[in-house]
């Protein structure tokens, strides 16, 4: 029986990396019934909604989405598609594995980085509650609740236990925001007591950023509120080669959307040189979610083998291969 998955190619390089990822997933032998839901900046502008009805209906029907990048205007225009997805579908946990790829030249290429970042996905400053108090004075409200904090903390610790992880580091600024971040960190401490087999520690967010650059190999699982999680997850991606090589997942009780977290890169769209690694790696997370662990392992090993081989990498990671050539190499390593 085939798994039903909503495919949102996106715009810019989205359709190219989506097509490459679909090819790689299909090559594993797992049967996927792909239901394509088009979502681009033009569609959003015409519909007047960041999350048009046809996309939402498809995701509610399938319960699983694989999403390419969608262009979001800066300092104006329509609201973020990702924020709309997370709020509407209650995708409360943003999960970002960050790990070293063999053969990829970075400043930390000789360090074994292997961490998973858990970011609360529904509140904090991303609640969008802001207004102009008086002219040229704007106020944004930071919302932290016990419900959301306990939910993300439980999710992170449960993942740690299930996947043999040894340490959870909660990141905060409770020394300054004693009420909001204070509530978050108290919830993390409470959940930590229920997992005595998992080591637990805390870092103030600015110190955490420094430690990530100085000693990235010492981190295992990071647990953060929304804004810090957004910033720190991109920082961590930079340690292993950038947003083009790391996966992302937005997890909810009834739905999950797996996505490439990089931009739509309109400057290279249509040139056939985009790197599909991020979306392929997100599809690996999707396969695990669907219960296809063996296929996920095979595809993960194939991507790693393609990087270790190093002869069919795209330009952004030091190679000269096209999107199709990289994808062919991955499929070849599937065996």
5-17 average pLDDT score: 96
User: In the prediction, which pLDDT does 92 show?
Assistant: 97
Q: How many CA atoms lie within 13 A of 323 on its CB side?
A: 26
User: In the prediction, which pLDDT does 78 show?
Assistant: 55
Q: Report the percent of the chain where pLDDT is more than 70.
A: 98
User: In the prediction, which pLDDT does 41 show?
Assistant: 84
Contact indicator for 298, 81 with CB cutoff of 8 Å: no
Of 307, 247, 238, the C-alpha closest to 281 is 247
User: In the prediction, which pLDDT does 303 show?
Assistant: 98
- Reported confidence tier of residue 75, pLDDT bands at 50, 70, 90: very low
Residue-wise DSSP of 281-326: HHHHHHHHHTT-HHHHHHHHHHHHHHHHH-SS-BGGGT--B-HHHH
User: Higher model confidence: residue 328 or residue 110?
Assistant: 328
Average pLDDT, the chain: 94
The string of pLDDT tens digits covering residues 205-241 is: 999 999 999 999 999 999 999 999 999 999 999 999 9
pTM summary value: 0.94
Return d(Cα 271, Cα 234) in angstroms, integer: 26
Contact indicator for 208, 232 with CB cutoff of 8 Å: yes
pLDDT at 74 over 60: no
Please give the domain boundaries of the chain with CATH numbers for all domains. Answer: 1-97+241-335 (3.40.718.10), 114-239 (3.40.718.10)
54-75 average pLDDT score: 88
- Close Cβ partners of 238 (under 8 Å, ≥ 6 residues apart): none
Q: Report the percent of the chain where pLDDT is more than 90.
A: 86
292-313 average pLDDT score: 97
- Reported confidence tier of residue 161, pLDDT bands at 50, 70, 90: very high
Of 120, 157, 113, the C-alpha closest to 245 is 113
- Reported confidence tier of residue 79, pLDDT bands at 50, 70, 90: low
194-214 average pLDDT score: 98
pLDDT at 72 over 90: no
- Reported confidence tier of residue 77, pLDDT bands at 50, 70, 90: low
pLDDT at 190 over 80: yes
The string of pLDDT tens digits covering residues 310-331 is: 999 999 999 999 999 999 999 9
User: Higher model confidence: residue 307 or residue 109?
Assistant: 307
User: In the prediction, which pLDDT does 51 show?
Assistant: 87
- Reported confidence tier of residue 284, pLDDT bands at 50, 70, 90: very high
The one-character DSSP state at 79 is P
236-260 average pLDDT score: 96
């Amino acid at each position: 029986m085939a798994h039903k998955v909503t495919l949102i190619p996106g715009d810019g390089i989205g359709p190219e990396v989506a097509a490459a990822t679909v090819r790689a997933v299909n090559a594993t032998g797992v049967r996927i019934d792909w239901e394509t839901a088009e979502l681009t900046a033009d569609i959003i502008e015409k519909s007047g909604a960041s999350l048009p009805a046809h996309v939402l209906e498809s995701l509610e029907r399938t319960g699983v989405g694989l999403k390419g990048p969608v262009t979001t205007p800066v300092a104006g225009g329509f609201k973020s598609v990702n924020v709309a997805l997370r709020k509407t579908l209650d995708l409360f946990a943003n999960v970002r594995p960050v790990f070293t790829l063999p053969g990829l030249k970075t400043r930390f290429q000789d360090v074994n980085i292997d961490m998973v970042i858990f970011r609360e996905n529904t509140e904090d400053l991303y609640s969008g509650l802001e207004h102009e108090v008086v002219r040229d004075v704007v106020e944004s409200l930071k919302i932290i609740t016990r419900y959301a904090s306990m939910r993300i903390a439980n999710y992170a610790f449960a993942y740690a236990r299930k996947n043999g992880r040894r340490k959870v580091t909660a990141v905060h600024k409770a020394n300054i925001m004693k009420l909001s971040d204070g509530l978050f960190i108290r919830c993390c401490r409470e959940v930590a007591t229920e997992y005595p087999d998992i080591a637990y520690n805390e870092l103030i967010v600015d110190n955490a950023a420094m430690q990530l650059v100085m000693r990235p190999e010492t981190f295992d699982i990071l647990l953060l509120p929304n804004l810090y999680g957004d910033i720190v997850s991109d920082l961590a991606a930079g340690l292993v080669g950038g947003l083009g090589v790391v996966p992302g997942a937005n997890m909810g009780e009834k739905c999950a959307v797996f996505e490439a977290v990089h931009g739509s890169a309109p400057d290279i769209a249509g040139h056939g040189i985009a790197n599909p690694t991020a979306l392929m790696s997100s599809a690996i997370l999707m396969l695990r979610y669907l219960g296809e662990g063996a296929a996920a392992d095979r595809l993960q090993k194939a991507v790693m083998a393609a990087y270790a081989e190093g002869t069919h990498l795209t330009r952004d990671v030091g190679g000269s291969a096209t999107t199709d050539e990289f994808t062919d190499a991955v499929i070849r390593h599937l065996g």
